[in-house]
Amino acid sequence: MMGYYIGAVKTRLGWAGFLWSKDGLAANTLFHSTIRSALAEIESRSKIAAEDKAPPEWIEKFFNVYAEGDFAEAARISKRSAKFDFASGTPFQKSVWREIFKIPCGKTKSYGDIAAALGTSARPVGGACGKNPCPVVIPCHRVLAADGGLGGFYGGVELKKRLLKHEGYPV
């Protein structure tokens, strides 16, 4: 994967690792205890080895203000500056990720809500959520089951609960 870089940012919630290109953020990992484990996971997921490089400014700002709980500023940063490089996603997955990107902090939608907006069913939406390469920036943790159950999450249900609690959502 030529033209891609990896890097990491330390936040109050832990280290987050990133893969990006000139076109935007391609993937991220969430909240490791060390920079080494954040970078190792992003290298493993991306199948590339690269030297550590400072991520683009918007990524660092977004993750730091998110970790500090300034969700209004995190939303402004993501809406104003977020660019994505989703070379690996299918057209359907990309449509799901674009829909999820619209969910504001502290709010949730069900898999069925997302499915209805896209004219599909909930199961493939869940599958696309599971393939989301940029959790938190594309907030798939804000997508719940129709009965309010948490469903799955790339980092596990406990991390999903932690993120929702961090945002003030009653879990």
Same domain, yes or no: 64 and 107: no
Which residues are bridge partners to 21 per DSSP?
24
The four Cα atoms 134, 139, 140, 146 give a dihedral, to 10 degrees, of -170
The answer to whether residue 171 is domain-embedded is no
- Angstrom CA distances, 149 to 15, 60, 64, 114, 169, stand at 28, 31, 28, 15, 13
Percent pLDDT > 90 in the chain is 80
What pLDDT is attached to residue 50?
64
pTM of the complete model: 0.91
C-alpha 26/C-alpha 49 separation (Å) is 15
- List phi, psi (to 5°) of 69: 90, 10
The answer to whether residue 122 is domain-embedded is yes
Domain assignment of residue 124, given as a range: 91-166
| 170 confidence band (pLDDT: 50, 70, 90) | confident
Question: Looking at this protein, which amino acid is placed at residue 142?
Answer: R
HSE (side-chain half, CA atoms, 13 Å) at 29: 27
The answer to whether residue 54 is domain-embedded is yes
Answer with the one of 81, 108, 134 that is the final residue of a domain: 81
Domain count, the chain: 2
Q: Quick check: is 134 catalytic?
A: no
Q: The domain that contains 155 carries what CATH number?
A: 1.10.10.10
Write the pLDDT tens digit of every residue in 60-105: 999 999 999 999 999 999 999 999 998 789 999 999 999 999 999 8
Q: What is the average pLDDT score of the chain?
A: 92
The answer to whether residue 58 is domain-embedded is yes
From the list 105, 129, 134, 140, the catalytic residue is: 140
In this prediction, residues 34-52 reach a mean pLDDT of 83
The answer to whether residue 86 is domain-embedded is no
Answer with the one of 81, 103, 126 that is the final residue of a domain: 81
